[in-house]
Chain A
Amino acid sequence: MFDLERAIHRWLRSFRRHRAFNHGAIREMELHLRDHIDDLLSKGLGVQEAFDKAVREFGDIKPMAREEYWNIRRKRTFINTIMLNSYFKIAFRNLWRHKFYAFINIIGLTIGLSIVFMIALFVNDELSFDQFHKKKERLYRVVENQYYAGQPVFPVAVTPTALGPSLMEEYPEIVNFTRVYNDNFRFELGEKKISENSGIVADASFFEMFTFPLVSGTVQSFKTDLNALILTEELADKYFPDEEATGKSINLDGEQFFVRAVMADPPKNSHLPFRYITNFERYLSGDPDRANSWGSNWLYTYVEMAPAVDLNTVNDKIIGQIKANNEGSVTDIYLQPLTDIYLGEVDFTVEARRKGEMMYVKIFSIVAIFILIISCINFMNLSTARSAKRAKEVGLRKTVGANRRQLVFQFLSESVLLSVTAVILSIGVVALLLPFFNQIANKEFDLRTFLEAGTGFKLGLGILLTAVLTGLFSGSYPALFLSSIEPVRTLGTHGTALRQGAGLRKILVILQFTISVVLIIGTMVVYQQFRFIQDVNLGYNKNNIIYTFVPGEKSEVFSNEIRNQRGVINVGLSNRHPAYVLSSTSGFDWPGKNPDETILMHYMSVDEHYMPTMEMNVIDGRQFVHTDTSVVIINERAKEIMGLEDPVGQSLSGRNDYRIVGVVSDFNFKSIHTAIEPIVIFKSDELSRVYIRYDPMEQAEISERIESVWMDFFPDREFNIYYLDEDFNDMYDAEMRTSKLSTYFAGLAIIISCLGLFGLVSYATEQRTKEIGIRKVLGASISNLFLLLTYDFTRLVLIALVIAIPVGWYAMNQWLDSYAYRIDISVWVFILSAITAVLIAVATVSYQSVRASISNPVRALRNE
């Protein structure tokens, strides 16, 4: 009897001899044969007859196998979307199955990317300064290098009044100029009487050169109309809330001005912030001689160059412009590109109000790259470490016909899936942390600005690119490594073939910890330097000082009245802020001075109470007294540079003749970044700055008492007081922010590194469960095992320390060199960093090692 089923099975078996047919294809053909047989049976044929006919018509299997084989070999000309889909599906399943490792990977990457994104925002903003000017390529600021005997080059950002016009007249390459200086007025309109800050005075060409769009009005009249005023929208709204400001009049310092135009508020990323503009011609009209002044450097000169002119050629021509017009000048000039001003690395005297630091942009960019590397290393390490398990999968895939390209694809899609997840999460993190970040970075980033068409697109593209690149970068090594595995080695023994990845893994862990330790060292040094700056001996006591401004003619009476108030210790007058003495001259002469040398000296004026109030030390001679006229006190540095053995009693001539009555010990009258320079202090009256030293116990009441005196003297003036120590906080704002930010960065870098280490250790102990079990059974103690497991990884951290310490030492010394007053890096910084790193690493490792060493060996060994 013919057995149809057996015949069909026998027939099918002949297919299986050919590799070309997969299960689905064979099944398909079986169904074909059965359909055909059914058809033939229904036509009345016998069972065997039908089978034979169907098989005969089906044909010879060999040529079919050959054809099918070519199908498999034939290369795909495009990436099959179905395959791509399946890559991601499998990738997702793999991640889901290993939730713990996927979690560690994603968290690490998310933290890393969040930092990178925030730093990118910061850096991008810093680099965007002054880029909005349409003529930015052709706009320059004229700056000076002054050369004095025995002193380093003295760079100055301000220039004389006559410089701009003379440059434009004599050099055809320079087609326009504008002069700008800061001057604030008291606005009076109806009831409102407010001193407004951020006022500038400028030539009418200001509007032709810079791109600050007008909202209403014109600037035409600005050239001739001396009392023209241009307001920004913010001020226009403040004084003329519900009406058109243009055309209205308003009193400035008691004089009538007319609002001629309203300007859009200048962008935040401008080095030249202003709220209102008055006319430079008004200043010149005060005295016709002013226009020809070459002697005093006091205003910013901006010039516009003709198109396609070489900067160096122009610089060579104009370098001596001041010397040519001002006999005895030691000043060279050159042009500084507008877009270099904000991040310029020259420390100019009288620099623009808004100034960034290229160094911080560089430091943070490097930190961002470091942190990204650390996070990517986590991924690489965990993927390759787990390769022992994945290796079997790879072996199996290869055996059933996966080629290397497919495997690379598989692993890359896993890492890209991970990094895309991390990117999405980190966008959320950035959005949440933005207000906080704004606060420490002193920026005003707003989520809404990112949704604007242009920025949004660029940002989206950037983020997408980051996601894919991070994925590809961190997935590249595992992908190439795993796909190169030979199936025989993985399927035979238990992953012994996979030790080869361990060396590289260790190097990567060392790299991670090296970076982390360098960041820790950096943080400590920045913090210490910052503390040092705050506590440095300024030469006077900045604490418990309130200051205010009064009209000079009433300052003496006013200060005497204040001195009588309870809680007031002393009151002194001066014409300068103690930390911003920027006026200087080379016009002093004294007996014994080398006539060939030009020596620059700063100067300021004070009354007889100022030095006692500020707690400055007169170390030679005497203090000023009330009756003093034509006397000066110099500082130690001045004594040194003047070459005087015994200066007291010597004469000093400047505009008049003076007698030196005392020497005051050096004090800082500029930023701590610069060394102390020579200064001459005059005794003077009618000084408008009032410095009040108060008893800190009475701080709460002191401002009220001052205000009540103020009201008696100046009933119609706005009362404002300032705290001197707050000014210092503002001055070292950048240091403070860097110190904070680097603390966060270093902390996060260590966390990311430890996450990776934790993952690695978890995996390693998991792998060695049996080994540990056997060791225990054979008598190893818990502490033995703990040391065994811990040492393996802690060793890597120790190696990292050996590398990180010299690197950190070198880098931080470079940074500290930008300070005139700096700490020496103490050994303790390194010892502390080392202890921190080792402790954190050991803590990370020990959780798993302890768990492994106290586990019951029976559990580990039961399965075999």
Chain B
Amino acid sequence: MISKNLTAASTKPIILGVLRQGNSYGYLIIKKIKEMSGGKMQWSDGMLYPVLHRLEKEGLIESKWVMSDDSRPRKYYEITALGKKELVNEREQWVHVNSVLDKIWEGQPSTT
């Protein structure tokens, strides 16, 4: 299981990353994340929404309601240009953290 803090910290790049692949709505985003993490990230579904709203307020994503005849209305989110920039930024940070950790792991034998 991945700890709560680490989950919280990675939410932003994960959501931005998911939206980078295409517009989506809340339920679908959660579903995708769950699938990708193989259930190892502990989310309560509802916590996604305040995060989405915060990202929207920061101008990283935009939303619009889409009505269609054959399904329920959905609030679709779309990544903005600013969001894409932020994602690149986030990615660099995570890669950096990763490389630091990699170096540390190499100097130490794995515990398993």
A-to-B contact residues, CB < 8 Å: 24-25, 28-29, 31-32, 34-36, 39, 57-61, 63-64, 67-68, 70-71, 74, 76
Contacts and interface: CB of A to CB of B under 8 A. Distances in A.
A32 B26 contact: yes
Contacts of B49: 25, 28-29, 32, 64, 68
B27 A35 contact: yes
Given A31-B27, A67-B51, A58 B57 contact: no
B46 A36 contact: no
A76 B72 CA distance: 32
B50 A68 contact: yes
A757 B14 CA distance: 62
Contacts of A59: 43-47
The 6 closest A-B pairs by CB, nearest first: A59-B44, A67-B50, A35-B27, A68-B50, A58-B46, A59-B46
B53 interface: yes
Contacts of A71: 50, 53-54, 57
Interface of B: 25-27, 30-31, 43-47, 49-51, 53-54, 57, 72-75
A808 B74 CA distance: 70
Contacts of A63: 47
A64 B50 contact: yes
Given A24-B75, A35-B72, A74 B57 contact: yes
A63 B49 CA distance: 11
A71 B50 CA distance: 7
A331 to B, nearest CB: 76
A36 B27 contact: yes
B46 A29 contact: yes
Given A36-B27, A59-B44, A63-B47, 15 more contacts: A24-B75, A25-B53, A28-B49, A31-B25, A32-B49, A34-B72, A35-B27, A57-B44, A58-B46, A61-B46, A67-B50, A67-B51, A67-B54, A71-B57, A76-B57
A343 B80 CA distance: 59
Contacts of B46: 29, 58-61, 64
A76 B57 CA distance: 8
B26 A28 contact: yes
9 contacts: A24-B75, A25-B49, A29-B46, A31-B72, A57-B45, A59-B45, A64-B49, A67-B47, A76-B57
Contacts of B50: 64, 67-68, 70-71
A39 B72 CA distance: 14
B53 A68 contact: yes
A768 to B, nearest CB: 46
Nearest to A76: B57
A71 B25 CA distance: 19
Contacts of B31: 39
A32 B45 contact: yes
B75 A64 contact: no
Q: Which of B25, B50, B54 has the most CB of A within 10 A?
A: B50
B80 to A, nearest CB: 12
B75 to A, nearest CB: 5
Contacts of A29: 26, 46, 49
